[in-house]
Amino acid sequence: MQVNGRVVENPDHWVSFEHDRILFDGRPLKAKARRYILLYKPAGYITTYKDPDGRPTVYDLIQEIDTFVSPVGRLDLETSGLLLLTNDTNFAERLTNPDHKVQKTYLVKCADLLTDEALEQLRKGVELSDGMTRAAEVRRVRDSGKYSHIEIRITEGRNRQVRRMVEAVGSKVLKLVRTAIGPVEIGELKIGTWRDLAAEEVAVLSGARGRANASPTKSGSRGRARVRPSR
């Protein structure tokens, strides 16, 4: 993609259809209907449009979508779970700006049995190389053998934040799955498939329940729309 004559490969780069000249595959890109996609990203896929090392990208999973959408935030290579993609920059900014404190929920398999003290540390915030983390919601799902499985909800989006938080309390992440953003959950969607967000989901994520302007569109794999009640 080219923006004002400059090649842009960063999917998080914001553009203005009113002020920027945008070319995609050499053709002018015009504003299209807003699209909101929920993808169940598998591990082993990256969230950039192309990869010089030839690794699979999330765009390989949404080839039938007829408009360009960008990931709302990122999931690292080995993290799976809920990934939103959209062409609505205002929607994306609301979800990624930490000032809005939108919760992201993760299930974590830890390399050790975490003590109650370690969980309390995570709840209160831990010191990372880029500063203290905000308070988080953390609960023990179960302990199995020598591993703890925990659920953690954060309102920030720092690079590899959950992995670094677990390392800060003396363990490591063996498996990481994002299960929800705000009240919207993966539900019954199968890994590697996607669906359009329902109008209600767009509205609640936009902070404007009841006045979202998403139009019903055909999706690759519907699953069941699930909006978790507010806590």
Catalytic residues: 76
C-alpha distance from residue 67 to each of 29, 42, 61, 70, 87 (Å) = 10, 22, 14, 10, 8
Q: Using CA atoms, how far apart are residues 176 and 71, in angstroms rounded to an integer?
A: 18
Question: Tokens 């020598």 identify what position?
Answer: 146
Residue 203 makes CB contacts below 8 A (sequence gap 6+) with: 209, 210, 211, 212
Question: Tokens 């329940």 identify what position?
Answer: 209
